[in-house]
Amino acid sequence: MNLLLIVEDDAWTRYALERLLQSRGWNVLTASTLGDGLSLLERRPDWIVVDLRLPDGNGESILRRVRELNLPSRVIVCTSIMDQDRLERLEALRPDAVLNKPVEAEDIHQICLQAQ
């Protein structure tokens, strides 16, 4: 099945999403920092699930980089903070989906399936 990258700093959330999505047939890569997530873009994941708040930067940087490189990766942004300024910045970067935290692996799986 498709390759999915999870960029999430919370270890429990990252592990739970990874295990549940693997059980649904996804090949999953994980990163806990912005830097690691950016370096994994070279693997050209089909889907990227990114948290906006990361210890070394903003997850928007991954979405911005995907768009700059014209990668075919689809991006799901996860956040617990949804103020108007952030929503406007995200809209300009055209994420494929924005989910409020806490995020359910089944929601991610369904978004990915519907887009295929």
Structure tokens at 96: 């494929």
Give the count of domains, the chain. Answer: 1
> pLDDT of 46-90, one tens digit each?
999 999 889 999 889 999 999 999 999 999 999 877 777 777 887
Check pLDDT > 60 for residue 1.
Answer: no
pLDDT, residue 40, reads: 97
> What global pTM score does this model have?
0.91
CATH of the domain at 65: 3.40.50.2300
pLDDT of residue 115 exceeding 80: no
What domain range includes position 77?
Answer: 3-115
